[in-house]
Amino acid sequence: MKWEKEKHLDKTIFAIVHIYLSIYLSIYLSIYLSIYLSIYFIIYLSIYLSIYLSNFNFLLNEVSLLFIWLKSIGVNLHKKDVPRAISHKYSLQECLKKSGRFLSFPENHECLYILAESRYCQDGLPVPKLVHYIFLGNTNFTFFFLLSILSSYRILKPGFIFVHTEKILDGKWWDHLLELVPNIVIIETTRVTRIFDKPVEVVQHQADIMRIQLLMEFGGIYMDTDELALKSFDPLRVYPITLGPCRLDARIIPELIHVERLFAFAGFSGKVHDFFDKVAGWSQRYGLHLYIRLQKIKKSDPEHIKKLNSTYGQIARLIYYGKTEMIH
């Protein structure tokens, strides 16, 4: 009789333990899977909405935030599985030999990694002194593009400027730029047409995905082709990632992202045309986005900016002529 009671008690204890463990494991797995799936859902939804619903104007904004999310769970957006390790097949001196007016390499060439990791770009700060531009399709290289790249060269003082393009750039302003900027590196690139098995058809969206890849692959600073640098980014390069204040998502993880309130803006009073029509204070800002596609002014040149009494006129003269005063 006593033995039967003990046996019954053992079964009861086993049943209780079994129920407890089942409940514990169910709760644990539910929480774990919920968090993990939620992260994937946020990433997928963010990219989906960005590709299909937004205008995808990332300077160092959503690109950097998505970069954190993707890196945090190990999602790989690289176009090709290129090993980060350098085989030392080429020396830095060999990579710096020009075959023409500029350095030129196919994408993922080992020399690109050698240049990005050389003393010219690496100075001990988290973000290397490396600037990226992307040109896709048949690009009419304008004076605005010249000003953008020239501003990066003269104000940001990068080791190299990587110009990722499908086709060789040409035209009088491109030829003139090569006379002014000696450290341009042309990279023959292939545009992205799919991500997460979804087609990406709009060229601006393709470029936005490509800039994520470039920052993941090389690090550095991405500049839109109509973005003008106004002062050194060195105070911002001490942070792994810097965003402007216009994005709410930049403020939700302040321990990972530095939010700079004097970053680049498209207009100083909320109107993109203000800096073409008015003169406003800009000396404390890091950059200015021209948004040329939204402007009434579609053309500009060195003569045009000499007497232009506006914010753009001052900045353009500073970049091109080295002074803000009107030239008579």
Helix (H) or strand (E) holding 191: none
Per-residue pLDDT of the chain (328 residues; tens, 9 = 90+): 544 545 455 556 656 656 766 676 677 666 766 666 665 555 554 554 444 333 333 334 334 434 433 333 333 333 334 445 566 688 999 999 887 788 999 998 999 999 999 999 999 999 999 999 999 987 789 999 999 999 999 999 999 999 999 988 999 999 999 999 999 999 999 888 888 888 988 888 888 889 888 988 999 999 999 999 999 999 999 988 887 665 555 555 666 777 777 665 544 445 566 788 888 888 888 888 888 877 777 789 999 999 999 999 999 999 999 999 999 8
Nearest 10 degrees: Cα torsion 132, 137, 138, 141: -20
Residue 282, amino acid: W
Partner residues linked to 288 by β-bridges: 228, 265
pTM value is: 0.73
First to last CA, the chain: 114
Contacts of 21 (CB under 8 A, 6+ apart): none
Quickly list H helices, 84-231. 92-95, 110-116, 143-151, 172-180, 203-217
Distance in angstroms (rounded) separating the CA atoms of residues 33 and 176: 56
